[in-house]
Every structure is written in C-alpha cells, then in structure tokens.
Amino acid sequence: MLSLLLRHGWLVLGGVVVLSLPGQAQAQSGAAHRPHARQAVKPPAAPVRAETITVNAQRRDFSYPEAQHVPDADTRLTAARLIERGVVSLRGLERVAPNLTIQSINGTASTNFYLRGVGFNDFTQNNMPSVLSYFDDVPFAFSTMTDGMMFDLAGAEVTPGPVGTRHGQSDTGGEVRLRTNDPTDQWHYGAREDIASYSRSRSEAYVSGPLARGLSFRLAGQTQQGGGWQRDPLNGSHLGDADLWALRGKLKWTPDSHTTLMVSGHFTQDDSEVVNPIPVHRLVGTAPLPVESWQQTQWSMRPEFARLIGRRPGLKPSEHNQFWGADVHFSHDFGPVTFSSISAFETERQGEYTDQDGTALAQADTYRTIDANTFTQEVRLQSSHPHDRLQWTVGAFYQRSRMQQRFFFDYTDYVPQRGYMMATHFGMDQESTSEFGNISYRFDHGVTLWAGLLHEIDDRSISGLQSVIFGGKSQDFHGESTAAAQYAGQAGVSWQAAAHELVYFKISKGFKPGGFTANNTQIQAQLDPFRPETVLTYELGLKSDPIPNRIRLNAAAFYNDYHNQQLVGTVLIPNYGPLSEITNAPKSESWGFEATLDIHPFAHLFVTQNLGWQRGNFQNFPTVNRAATNAYYAQHGVWKAIEDNFAGVDNGQPKLTLNGNAEWRQALGPHYGIDFGPDWLYRDSQAITPGGTGFYRLPPYFLLGAHATFHPASGHWSATVYATNLLNRRYAESGGMATTTYFYLPGAPRFIGGRIACDF
C-alpha cells in the first residue's frame, strides 16, 4: 500500500494525507515517456513550486462521536445495532441499554418501565408512566399505543433521570426516544425477511423517494406471524403466535431551505396471542398447582364468559387491538431563531384476554377493553446556530387524553370466596399544560453552564365507575379528581478537560402527577387519588475516549432523593382478600452507577459492554405486608391485614444488569465481508412485591446469543443466521399475583433463525 501511495505522489503522515502535485514538470515528464509524443527542444522551464493539499481524515470506529461532547448519560443506538440484537418491540431495549427494565404486564402488549430503578407498575395503564416513550418527538401517554411501531427505525436514545426543560413533558424516570426514517430526495427501497424457530416470521419493506420539487414521501410496513412456544398439556394446543401488521406513511415538503413540513400517519392491527403465566405458589385453596415444564401452561375460556364479553368460544389468551394516529411537524429557520411545532393525535382500541392464574380453572380469567385517545401540541423557539456560545430554548406543551375502560372477570371456580362473573367500568379525563425553558453558555477553557425550568399544571378525574356482579349486586362509586401544579428543573456544569475527555455534574428535579387505582374496585376508598411524585437527582458523569478509535468509556453515578414515590402497595378488603393499590411511599432513595465500554483493540474486533448497578430502599413506607397477610390466612382461614412499615427495606429492583456484544468483522476479498460474534445479558433478581423474598422475587438469569452476517462491500444486501437464548435457559421475565396464585411469566426459549435484507 505504501509503495502504491508513493507511486501516485501520496504521502501519509499520522492520519494526515499530503498530496504533492508538481504541475507542469510532472506533465512534461509524462510526455517524455510517451512513445509517439513529438519531441521538441524548449528552453528550461522556470522552477515550479509544488502545490500541497492537506486532507484531514477522521476514523469513526465508534458511533455518534459528536455526542461525546454532550453532557448527558444517554444511550444512543443505531438502527443497525437494534436489528442485530433483534429489538422489534420496546421490551427489547433492555438488552442494549444499562439500568433499564421494560416488562410486559401479564404477558400482554402493555409495558412497565424502570430506568435506574425509577419506574411504575400500572396494570390499568390509566396513569402517567415514570418513563415516557417518544416516537419522532411525539410523546405516548399510554405505552401500549407504541405496539407495532418499531420498524423502519433510524435509531433510538434512552435518557435516564428527570427531563422536561428542553421538550415535551416532565417525568421522574427519563424517556425512551425512537426515530423513524424520513422521506428521501432520491429513490430508495428495501425489504427484510426474518424466519426463525416455532414458525416465526417477521417481514418489513419500505419505499422512499421524490414526488415533485421539494416534495418527497416514505411508506413502510411490517408483519409478524407465528412464534408461539407454549403448549397446554391438557389438550396439546399451542399458544403465543404473533398476528400483527402495521403501516406508516410520511410526506415531507421543503418549499425552501428554511422551512420543513412533515405529515405522518400510522396504523397497527394486533391480534397476537400472549404469553401465559406459570403459577408458582397457591395463596388460596388446597388444590395442587399444575406441574409442568417451562414451556407449558394452562388456560380456559368458559362458554358463558365468552358470551358475556362477546368473543368466540375457545378464545386463547390474546390481543385484539387497533392503534392509529397522525402527527404534523413544522419548522422554520428565521435566522437567529428557529420555530417548531408538533401536533399529534393518537388512539387505541384494545381488547385483551388473559388467564392470570395459569390454570384450567376460572379463578382469574380477565378480559379488558380500552377506548382511548390523546392529543398533544408542542411549540418551541430555540437558537438556530448550534456552535454559538449561547444556546437557549423556550416552549410550551399541551396534552389532553380521554379513556374508557371495562374489565370483565370470571371467578366461577374461585369458591366459596366468590364463584361469580363480574365487570368494572370507568372513564378518565386528563388535561395538562406546561411551559419550559433552557439556557446554556460556553465559557473559555471548555466550561459550560446550563439551567432549565418547567412549570406544569395537571388535572385528571375518574368518573362513572361501576362494579357489577352478574346475578348479584351492583355498586356505583362517585367520581374523584386530582390536580397538581409543580415545578421541575435542572442546573449543571460541564468541562471539556481535553479533546477527548468531558466531565459534568447536574442536579435535576422531576415531577409526575398523581392518579387513580381503578382495577377491581370494591370500596370507595380504593378510588382515593394517590399524590404527585417528585425526585431530586444528583448526577456526576464522564465521557472519554482514552485511546481514540480504540477505547471509549462513558460512565455516570447518580443519587435519587424521592418524596411520595408512587408504587403498588396492598390493601385488604374484608371477606374478599388482598388487592393491589397504587399508593405513595412518603420517603425513599436510590443510588448507583452505569457505564458503557467500547473496545476496538485491533483491526477486526469490536466489543461493547453495558453495566448498570443500583441500590435503593424505603425510608418511610407504611403499608399492608402482603406476605404476612397471606401467611396469616393460610394458617387461620381468615383475612386479617398485617400492617407494617417497610422503612429500610430494599426497593426490589435488579441490583446488577449487564449486557453487551462482541463482533469480529472480516473482509473476504475486496468485495465481501462477514461479521460474527456473541451477545449476552445478565439480570439480577427482582422483587415483585415490596420486601419480597422467596417466590416473591424473580430469580436472576443469564442469556447468551450469537449471530453471523455475510454481506457485500456495497452494503446493498445481507444474509444473517442468529440464535437467541442459545443455552436454552429457563427464566422469568416478570411476575405478579392473580387472586389465588402467584405467577411468573416465562421468558422465550432458544430461537434459531435467519434474516435476509436488501437496501437500494
């Protein structure tokens, strides 16, 4: 290579390419060696000064190098990394980010988030989550609305800690932001087909290009089918097949270089079967629990219950969901300032059947319907030149949501305690407004100071709640409402200590409004609103490339000081049993750290390791001790609330989480290459009730995967073989309680698959 560069007049010195062009002298030299060139005697040429062109070449072996100068602890993920790790739903993000837990609620499309141990377990999904999801800067008030949206992605970001002074809403845990691909000014199209074990298939396709001058479009879609790996040992039926399709369209208009208008719309139809629980402990009754393998489960659908809910007999635990929405993005650069507006409307129509006790008995069969919609509007003004010393943003945000939910329960075999079918119905209205601003200034010597403030007013109410026991009595409950007006903010300082080292410190206050517990309501007191939650977070962070393009280390340590942390406690209903209720822990705390290490020790090897560690405890949390209450009932046959204060008790979140991957990238001649390597995930144990031990905790687990991808140098296509849970480990992703049993939701077994992709 060196001789080739020298032969063409190139000199390479320490990453700087110097090109020497001797001008006419070189041209004459070339002519003298052409055999048919006419020779002429000319006077000696005047000395010619060599022209020198300096080309600065930058290697980018790690993604997002510009983010190394941003004082945050965000995890930034490329679309390629998401595809490689099989992240096709929000839950998959916990495999590629530190200190992040995203768990399905009873095996369904609804999810709960925990980031740095900050999270919220909300089965009814009618309250604001602690960690918000954004698609293309549109916040989703109800996480289920994101179902089927994770395709044709451009990338993702996970931001821990309180947010809200630069965009969107305030919350206490952070946010997950996903970006989808925009329309292109040139024609592009592509497709991806993924086929794996248990007849699972995932298909994606897109087309993008210009329609007219300044006008372009993008249309993308996906389908998911099959993949069910659970079986009922009583009849041999299998469970868990996906049945989902989704479409997204975007239209982009740029009438001039300063103005952009983007109109987007999407639709998802999800009729997938869900993962059914495995009972691990019986709370009520003496019937033995079914003894089954990890891939077996039981369920039932009584014809009477099917008629009540208006679904076909023999229905398997499954979804019947529709989601659609549209949004309009507008921005205009006025020179010194840029104005942007984001308007969005989202809807969900959900029908969800779950057999929560995991047995063939009708003791906790549940069917839920949700009709909900949200409208959001955000406007922002911000400085236009990102390299100016002074940067600022001001804006306002508005959200309105409407929801109607109805729960149907079949307790026919739960005798003598119940032995009936019942339904609960309620409506919820919510409205909030907020104003926010953020300012930063870069001083000499690499020091930057910043501060931000948000003020939010939130009003929400629950109404029309009715509980009906079919063949028995009905109860009507009067409505409740709650309002909050709070401030959130942030202040910090960063120092660019060297070209490749940044340190920062910030203090953030997060705010999350209160809400209601609205599941299986039996007494009016269950509708008392829980209070708003606030957290004061201290964070110290480092971003460094000790050896550029060889080693990158980003790390952050944090401390969370909570007031009125919202979490699921227990209330005992006399002659009925314990029920979950969202309540407040007056005082709690958590602390920990996270780190991401990227290593490229030599030409072909790339390694990424994420590490998260956190601890936390309640400093004051009076509640019913569910374990002691259940034990008293088992001994005496009478429900009696055992009151306790969980002061000093661990918050139950996984203390240690690890995930990462290693990849060997090998050229196969000048035209082809192969990338291959393993990936891994470790999660520590997690309590499913405060202070939980024994079966009240999910066991720790370790998963191993691997992949190999063959591709041409052009990158226009690729072929991949992969495996997930390569060791076929038995593990539980989440768990909970369903009237008579405690259950675990089992994780997927080994999947072996292949994927073919093309992009042109």
Using 50, 70 and 90 to split pLDDT, how confident is the model at 737? confident
| Tokens at 531, concatenated | 């209070």
Instruction: Specify the pLDDT at position 60.
Output: 56
Question: pLDDT tens for residues 124-136?
Answer: 888 888 999 999 9
**Distance between CA atoms of 232 and 729, rounded to whole angstroms?**
20
Looking up tokens 């560690």, which residue turns up?
613
Query: pLDDT at residue 643 above 80?
Result: yes
**Distance between CA atoms of 742 and 282, rounded to whole angstroms?**
7
| Tokens at 214, concatenated | 């300044």
Secondary structure class of 698 (helix, strand, coil): strand
Query: pLDDT at residue 482 above 90?
Result: yes
Exposed, middle or buried, 587 (CB in 10 Å: 0-12/13-18/19+)?
middle
Query: pLDDT at residue 4 above 70?
Result: no
538 Cβ contact partners less than 8 Å away, ≥ 6 residues apart: 505, 506, 507, 558, 559, 561
Q: What percent of the chain has pLDDT over 90?
A: 71
CA dihedral sign of residues 124, 125, 126, 129 = positive
Over residues 213-224, mean pLDDT: 97
Instruction: Specify the pLDDT at position 522.
Output: 76
Q: What percent of the chain has pLDDT over 70?
A: 92
Question: pLDDT tens for residues 240-249?
Answer: 999 999 999 9
Domain boundaries, the chain: 2-56, 65-759
Residue pair 618/588 in contact by the 8 Å Cβ criterion: yes
Q: Write the CA distances from 451 to 164, 165, 252, 394, 646, integer angstroms.
A: 12, 9, 34, 12, 36
Phi, psi of 360 (to 5 degrees): -80, -5
Instruction: Specify the pLDDT at position 26.
Output: 37
Query: pLDDT at residue 67 above 50?
Result: yes
**Distance between CA atoms of 694 and 351, rounded to whole angstroms?**
34
**Distance between CA atoms of 562 and 628, rounded to whole angstroms?**
26
Exposed, middle or buried, 617 (CB in 10 Å: 0-12/13-18/19+)?
middle
**Distance between CA atoms of 100 and 156, rounded to whole angstroms?**
14
Question: Chain-wide mean pLDDT for the chain?
Answer: 89
**Distance between CA atoms of 91 and 100, rounded to whole angstroms?**
10
Percentages helix, strand, coil for the chain (3-state, rounded to 5) are 10, 60, 35
Phi, psi of 5 (to 5 degrees): -65, -40
| Tokens at 247, concatenated | 């479409």
pTM: 0.87
| Tokens at 406, concatenated | 């109805």
Q: Which segments within 128-237 are labelled E, that is strand?
A: 131-135, 138-140, 153-160, 174-180, 188-196, 200-212, 215-226, 230-231
Question: pLDDT tens for residues 542-593?
Answer: 999 999 999 999 999 999 999 999 988 777 877 777 777 888 999 999 999 9
CA angle 682, 684, 687 (to 5 degrees): 145
Phi, psi of 657 (to 5 degrees): -130, 135
CA 116 to chain centre: 13
Question: pLDDT tens for residues 143-174?
Answer: 889 999 999 999 999 999 999 999 988 899 99
Please give the CATH number for the structural domain made up of 65-759.
2.40.170.20
Over residues 449-467, mean pLDDT: 95
